[in-house]
A and B are shown apart, each in its own frame.
Chain A
Amino acid sequence: MFLTITTTGTPERPATELGFLLHKHPEKAQAFSTSYGTAHVLYPEADAERCTAALLLEVDAVALVRRGKGKGRGGAPDAALAQYVNDRPYAASSLLAVALSGVFSSAMKGVCNARPELPAVPRPLRIAVPALPARGGPGLVRRLFEPLGWTVTAEPVPLDTEFPQWGDSRYVRLELESADRTLVEALRHLYVLLPVLDDAKHYWVSSDEVDKLLRAGEGWLPGHPEQKLITSRYLSRRWSLTRQATERLELVRLAEADDSEVEEIDNAVEAETETEERPTPLAVQRREAITAALKASGAARVLDLGCGQGQLVQALLKDPAFTEIVGLDVSMRALTIASRRLKLDRMGERQAARVKLLQGSLAYTDHRLKGYDAAVLSEVIEHLDLPRLPALEYAVFGAARPRTVLVTTPNVEYNVRWESLPAGHVRHGDHRFEWTRAEFRAWAEAVAERHGYEAEFIPVGPDDPEVGPPTQMAVFTQTTPKEAKAA
């Protein structure tokens, strides 16, 4: 909500020219009303040698909540309660960028009626933003501003000096310096890059945002090494914004009831994979292995238990051998994405009759799952706390009892082969456990024994002679059709 622009001057080019450039008189404090509060322009110092203009935005937090409707609300990047306690009144967010363009609109256009030659003249500039929310930290701040010729000072602000163990906040104290720069350029850089760093816009991203970006980015955005990141963040993802507003609220409330962050709970769908349409090779190999095992079992009616975003369902649909495919997941969000991926609402009747998406949970028995040829649990069991695994085991092997069950899970031994994975870490934040081949085998064999199945093990991915394959798969085949033995 606060930034300063400082310039120094010489007798020929007094620093007070800044007042002409900004169209704001250095001896007056001026106030401008914006949609989220009042913007003030004032000069803490103004003489020939040195002149500083300060932009101070007084954000009306209560009004912000009532009016806002962006990510979270009022543009705060956090959960719904966060709308009431948020950093907007303090941080140099996208609100400040909007105020900037409103208050200094002529300056941004490079227009100065009194001194038409001034805007084009480069001069020394120093811009200070004491609390800049920067997703990506000081590193990204430098990557964004340095290519534009700024000397960047970016220091992280600690979260709380009383609790040093909490580490740094997402704010950066930013200073940009340049010996010869036009104000137009400086303002346009800020106008685009403040919201890019904030990454939580407070208003709907609409189609005219593209035009705004093109205008403000003229002359510097093309060719910027981070152009892609700037563009995608600036334009944000309208699609995911709307979705967030409609789909997460129940979970947001449950997270709040627990004083948790919503991301702790609403994490069934990974943020990256939403946009990442190019799946990793291992995921492809897994689907191929699963499809092959299903074909080998002769299954026609198949359950994908824990179908996630429906990639496997989509793959199976392409093979007419599978006459009925049911995708089940506990996450409504995942199912919505799956439904969109499969284009269920536009699918022909005959195709649509082959596929069904259901919300369900393997912590419960479910009569809808009875009578299928095969069930796939691909990368599912490791998302369960171990004490709750027996319930899943009973729901699948005891109650639903398909003839064939495929279970895939990571082989933890292989983790040493992942270069990007720090030692001792699991592959996904939500993995409650990852098993060695021996552990998986022991579990699978015990399950098979208890429920009248035979288990066979198939490596998925490169089978490393020392640590085995990245993914391990068990194929369970029913041996006796008898009821489950006593648990």
Chain B
Amino acid sequence: MTDVREGRVLPVTDLSLVVLVGASGSGKSTFARRHFKPTEIISSDFCRGLVSDDENDQSATKDAFDVLHYIAGKRLAAGRRTVVDATSVQSDARRQLIDLARQYDVLPIAIVLDVPENVCAERNAARTDRADMPRRVIQRHIRELRRSLRHLEREGFRKVHVLRGVEDVEHATVVTEKRFNDLTHLTGPFDIIGDIHGCSAELESLLVKLGYSDGVHPEGRTAVFVGDLVDRGPDSPGVLRRVMAMVKSGNALCVPGNHENKYGRYLRGRKVQHTHGLAETIEQMAGESEEFAAEVREFIDGLVSHYVLDGGRLVVCHAGLPERYHGRTSGRVRSHALYGDTTGETDEFGLPVRYPWAEEYRGRAAVVYGHTPVPEATWLNNTICLDTGAVFGGKLTALRWPERELVDVPAERVWYEPAKPLRAEAPGGRDGRPLDLADVHGRRVVETRHQGRISIREENAAAALEVMSRFAVDPRLLPYLPPTMAPTATSHVDGYLEHPAEAFAQYAADGVARVVCEEKHMGSRAVALVCRDAETARKRFGVDGPTGSLYTRTGRPFLDDDSLTEEILDRLRTAIDEAGLWDHLAASNSASGAGDWLLFDAELMPWSLKASGLLRSQYAAVGAASGAVFPGALAALEGAAARGVDVIGLLSRTRERSADAAAFTEAYRRYCWTTDGLDGVRLAPFQILAVQGRSLAALPHDEQLALLDRLVEHDGSGLLQTTRRLYVDTGDPESVRAGVDWWLEMTGRGGEGMVVKPVGALVRDAQGRLVQPGIKCRGREYLRIIYGPEYTRPENLARLRSRFLNHKRSLAIREYALGLEALDRLAEGEPLWRVHEAVFGVLALESEPVDPRL
């Protein structure tokens, strides 16, 4: 109905605060509805209604605007464009909205609807709720609006669209514009290059090393410069010429550094101090043509302070940027991008102290920046500084993205003396230490690759915090916690509560054809992190001293004596050496440093080593009490029977109970023996969880066991023990029978039982759901320790069979997914807090209420 071609086209940025300005009756709401999504619009009338039940109740105006500002703030914080439908004819009202836009670092945009007074009056008269609005109100609105028009840009609006008259308003169209910094559609691959500072020769060498030929990469890669091209070094014009040409031809992107910014101000004729190497640039540029100088000026003026690239996974800017500033547009965002944040203090060299924003950074996007010279480019919480001080005689560094590989060339010489020595390390130590409480505290949701979002309840996180803080090993050496495991479905075979037939049937139902039965060792769960040496532990895990860790299911050090732990790690390490596993796993892995460390899931025997307190206070206590009471009780009953008193039933029952109690004592004794130092200690590793750069959680169990057999074979110390296993085809009755017999034989001799696992390790069912990674099937005698000495009595078994497994199964899957997540994050070199988040989640879930006997 309207002719678009004739109407005005109003560009409106995709993330902005749009303020409609117009008198009552000027058609703001109609305009907003026509051009914006209903959810983008917040009207003051609506908010008035929310707080007072009357959209025209002027006494509610203050509360209504509080609500309006609150909602707008929430939307802007979430990165959503917001349109404010209120008269906004007074500068005071607009100032509050501009402050709001600034607070959330988005562009404030004004759209003015300048409609004649009589049109407004007619429209209001047609509305029952506004019919009695005095004419003078509209007159005042229009007066205020006219007075405002000239000042809107000065007030801070970054775009001002004025629509004069009804026609203009009717025919205008709004087009959404992307922000300049939004290059999410560009996916590279990129080569991000650190601070150059006029080191033209080093730049050329680096470009060659990266594979560029005269500024063009044959594979179509794009160079990205983090700024500080100029000053201090020998040839700033040469650097500018190369970079400008590459940007112009579409082979490069460039963000400005503080040095370009200052030089740009100089070029615009501003008065700036010729310090920090600017004098050198001015002098070098003196030899260049006017034309080139003009191009430089134009280039610098056109630089965008930061870019969001590769679908939002990568942010490049000069001095680093906290997540809340990514993709935002404001003076302070630009300022942070150029200069970083400071604490307001100065150090002993008189230089401003930089605020350690990267230490607190928890964003998902990688932030690649420069600005602060460091000796080595290292990742910290998914951020990396590429300024390796080329001009100070360090090196010029590039980061290949998405490969995350570093490429550098050494400086040819010291071109400029630094004001202070390069800092060795970011504050707080290596790799994201320290962790922040906000990473783990309270109710949380952890995103996992394999099972989506997993929630952690507050009370569980609180308990985990206590255990993690007071008892666990250093979180840097705690990259994984094992998940809980569900038992097999309850058996109805006479005399059994658990029986392997159920486990095989369950996997068959899940579509898993091949399973492996692994003997349970009845030790205690132990996770072992083994580094090649202390230096590797320092390099990979940031710890000084230990060469790894050995910890329990809840992350506690397995042994109190550190030297014993080191001895176990040393024996493992020797076996790994002898078996050639470092090289073997490195060879099957492209990641560099694959042979640096291994992470094992294992059982440590005897059970009594770790659980002696529990054994004494509980299991042995039951044995002691029963052992003390039955002889007397039986003697009394036999005495009464001898006297002809009818106690036959009670006597035989008591004899059975006495036998049950004795069987119980036998059951726990099998898992106890005395140790001295490491004498008598056995370790049975059953899975290699990860190596540097790679999670092995999906490596099929037959391959896992083959590797582990090789390891045990090469252990000369007698520490390591193999895990006996049997492969079963769940669809083949013969094979299933063999599996059952194997279990019967093993548990008949008092064995703890077995774990049945899909050979494929990480398996999904037909619906795409994760299949249980293992199902435990515990021996009949062993279960006395769990369900009590007399659980096998028929009347007890009948009652115990009504047990509920669903929660345990769900818990097992959630913990499994978190464990996998921790391994994946570890493998991908994610920051410590990300690995710790998943590990902490496993610990928290372990405190969820579930039948402890399962």
Residues of A within 8 A of B (CB): 1-2, 4, 27-29, 40, 42-46, 52, 54, 56, 58, 61-62, 78-82, 84-87, 89-92, 128, 130-131, 133, 157-160, 162-163, 165-167, 169-171, 173, 249-251, 253-254, 256-261, 264-265, 268, 330-332, 359-368, 383-385, 387-388, 390-391, 394-395, 398-399, 481-487
Q: Tell whether A80 pairs with B436 under 8 Å between CB atoms, given A85-B622, A91-B625, A165-B674.
A: no
CA distance in complex: A35, B667 (Å):
30
CA distance in complex: A259, B610 (Å):
7
Nearest CB in chain A to that of B439: its residue: A364
Q: Are A89 and B790 in contact (CB under 8 A)?
A: yes
The answer to whether the Cβ of B553 comes within 8 Å of any Cβ in the partner chain is yes
Residues of A within 8 A of B345 (CB): 481-483
Q: Are A44 and B434 in contact (CB under 8 A)?
A: no
Residues of A within 8 A of B788 (CB): 61-62, 84-86
Q: Which of B288-296, B404-412, B594-602, B626-634 contacts A (4 or more CB under 8 A)?
A: B626-634
A52-B639, A364-B437 given; 17 more Cβ-contact pairs under 8 Å: A29-B640, A54-B637, A62-B799, A90-B622, A160-B669, A163-B620, A163-B672, A166-B620, A330-B465, A364-B440, A365-B434, A482-B345, A482-B346, A482-B347, A482-B353, A486-B425, A486-B426
The answer to whether the Cβ of B645 comes within 8 Å of any Cβ in the partner chain is yes
Residues of B within 8 A of A173 (CB): 628
What would 7 A/B residue contacts be, using CB atoms closer than 8 Å?
A62-B788, A158-B624, A159-B621, A257-B846, A258-B524, A265-B466, A366-B438
Nearest CB in chain A to that of B623: its residue: A160
Q: Tell whether A483 pairs with B353 under 8 Å between CB atoms, given A90-B629, A160-B620, A163-B672.
A: yes
The digit string for B522-549, where 1 denotes a CB below 8 A from any CB of A, is 0010000000000000000001011000
CA distance in complex: A169, B626 (Å):
12
Residues of B within 8 A of A483 (CB): 343, 345, 347, 353-354, 356, 427
Residues of B within 8 A of A43 (CB): 640, 643, 645
- Shortest A94–chain B CB gap in Å is 14
Q: Tell whether A171 pairs with B636 under 8 Å between CB atoms, given A43-B645, A260-B614, A363-B469.
A: no
Q: Residue among B459, B543, B636, B647 with the most chain A CB within 10 A? A: B636
The answer to whether the Cβ of B415 comes within 8 Å of any Cβ in the partner chain is no
- Shortest B605–chain A CB gap in Å is 13
Q: Tell whether A254 pairs with B843 under 8 Å between CB atoms, given A158-B624, A159-B616, A364-B434.
A: yes
CA distance in complex: A1, B638 (Å):
17
Residues of B within 8 A of A86 (CB): 618, 622, 788
CA distance in complex: A487, B618 (Å):
46
Q: Are A171 and B628 in contact (CB under 8 A)?
A: yes
Residue of A171, A331, A394 touching B624 (CB-CB under 8 A): A171
CA distance in complex: A253, B464 (Å):
11
Q: Tell whether A131 pairs with B628 under 8 Å between CB atoms, given A251-B847, A253-B847, A264-B613.
A: yes
CA distance in complex: A484, B428 (Å):
8
Residue of B459, B617, B625 touching A78 (CB-CB under 8 A): B617
The answer to whether the Cβ of B587 comes within 8 Å of any Cβ in the partner chain is no
Residues of B within 8 A of A40 (CB): 647, 650
Give 3 nearest A-B pairs by CB, closest first. A44-B639, A250-B463, A250-B847
Nearest CB in chain A to that of B627: its residue: A157
CA distance in complex: A451, B607 (Å):
45
Residue of B429, B619, B664 touching A487 (CB-CB under 8 A): B429
Nearest CB in chain B to that of A256: its residue: B852
Q: Tell whether A90 pairs with B626 under 8 Å between CB atoms, given A261-B614, A359-B465.
A: yes
- Shortest B796–chain A CB gap in Å is 5
Q: Are B613 and A260 in contact (CB under 8 A)?
A: yes
Q: Are A268 and B466 in contact (CB under 8 A)?
A: yes
The answer to whether the Cβ of B336 comes within 8 Å of any Cβ in the partner chain is no
CA distance in complex: A45, B644 (Å):
11
Interface residue range, chain B: 35 or more
Residue of B354, B467, B637, B852 touching A251 (CB-CB under 8 A): B467
CA distance in complex: A56, B640 (Å):
13
Q: Are A159 and B620 in contact (CB under 8 A)?
A: yes
Residue of B464, B470, B789, B850 touching A268 (CB-CB under 8 A): B470
Q: Tell whether A131 pairs with B625 under 8 Å between CB atoms, given A4-B632, A364-B440.
A: yes
The answer to whether the Cβ of B305 comes within 8 Å of any Cβ in the partner chain is no
Residues of A within 8 A of B632 (CB): 2, 4, 128, 130
Q: Are B613 and A58 in contact (CB under 8 A)?
A: no
Q: Are A332 and B466 in contact (CB under 8 A)?
A: yes
Q: Are A257 and B553 in contact (CB under 8 A)?
A: yes
CA distance in complex: A253, B630 (Å):
32
The answer to whether the Cβ of B435 comes within 8 Å of any Cβ in the partner chain is yes
Q: Are A359 and B462 in contact (CB under 8 A)?
A: yes
Nearest CB in chain A to that of B467: its residue: A254
- Shortest A471–chain B CB gap in Å is 22
Q: Are B353 and A163 in contact (CB under 8 A)?
A: no
CA distance in complex: A159, B665 (Å):
11
Nearest CB in chain A to that of B644: its residue: A27
The answer to whether the Cβ of B687 comes within 8 Å of any Cβ in the partner chain is no
Q: Are A42 and B468 in contact (CB under 8 A)?
A: no
Q: Are A61 and B790 in contact (CB under 8 A)?
A: yes
Residues of B within 8 A of A487 (CB): 425, 427-429
CA distance in complex: A106, B404 (Å):
86
Nearest CB in chain B to that of A487: its residue: B429
CA distance in complex: A259, B353 (Å):
49
CA distance in complex: A160, B646 (Å):
34
Nearest CB in chain A to that of B342: its residue: A483
Q: Residue among A167, A259, A398 with the most chain B CB within 10 A? A: A259
Q: Are A131 and B618 in contact (CB under 8 A)?
A: no
- Shortest A25–chain B CB gap in Å is 10
Residue of A78, A332, A486 touching B463 (CB-CB under 8 A): A332
CA distance in complex: A366, B437 (Å):
5
CA distance in complex: A362, B130 (Å):
61
Q: Are B616 and A166 in contact (CB under 8 A)?
A: yes
The answer to whether the Cβ of B635 comes within 8 Å of any Cβ in the partner chain is yes
CA distance in complex: A265, B466 (Å):
9
Within 8 A of A (CB), among B563-619: 607, 610-619
CA distance in complex: A84, B789 (Å):
9
Q: Are B614 and A387 in contact (CB under 8 A)?
A: no
Q: Are A249 and B849 in contact (CB under 8 A)?
A: yes
Nearest CB in chain A to that of B347: its residue: A482
- Shortest A305–chain B CB gap in Å is 12
CA distance in complex: A165, B676 (Å):
13
Q: Are B637 and A42 in contact (CB under 8 A)?
A: yes
Residues of B within 8 A of A52 (CB): 636, 639
CA distance in complex: A387, B338 (Å):
39
Residues of B within 8 A of A385 (CB): 557
Residue of A85, A259, A399 touching B611 (CB-CB under 8 A): A259
Q: Are A45 and B435 in contact (CB under 8 A)?
A: no
Nearest CB in chain A to that of B344: its residue: A481
The answer to whether the Cβ of B726 comes within 8 Å of any Cβ in the partner chain is no
The answer to whether the Cβ of B471 comes within 8 Å of any Cβ in the partner chain is yes
Q: Are B624 and A85 in contact (CB under 8 A)?
A: no
The answer to whether the Cβ of B785 comes within 8 Å of any Cβ in the partner chain is yes
Q: Are A85 and B786 in contact (CB under 8 A)?
A: yes
Residues of A within 8 A of B643 (CB): 27, 43-46
Within 8 A of A (CB), among B644-695: 644-647, 650, 653-654, 657, 661, 664-665, 669, 672, 674
Q: Are B607 and A259 in contact (CB under 8 A)?
A: yes
Q: Are B619 and A85 in contact (CB under 8 A)?
A: yes
Residues of B within 8 A of A256 (CB): 852
The answer to whether the Cβ of B24 comes within 8 Å of any Cβ in the partner chain is no
Residue of A261, A264, A331, A388 touching B474 (CB-CB under 8 A): A388
Nearest CB in chain A to that of B790: its residue: A61
- Shortest B538–chain A CB gap in Å is 13
Residues of A within 8 A of B612 (CB): 166
Residues of B within 8 A of A2 (CB): 629, 632-633, 636
The answer to whether the Cβ of B787 comes within 8 Å of any Cβ in the partner chain is yes
- Shortest B850–chain A CB gap in Å is 8
CA distance in complex: A387, B544 (Å):
9
Within 8 A of A (CB), among B171-188: none
Residue of B614, B635, B785, B846 touching A254 (CB-CB under 8 A): B846
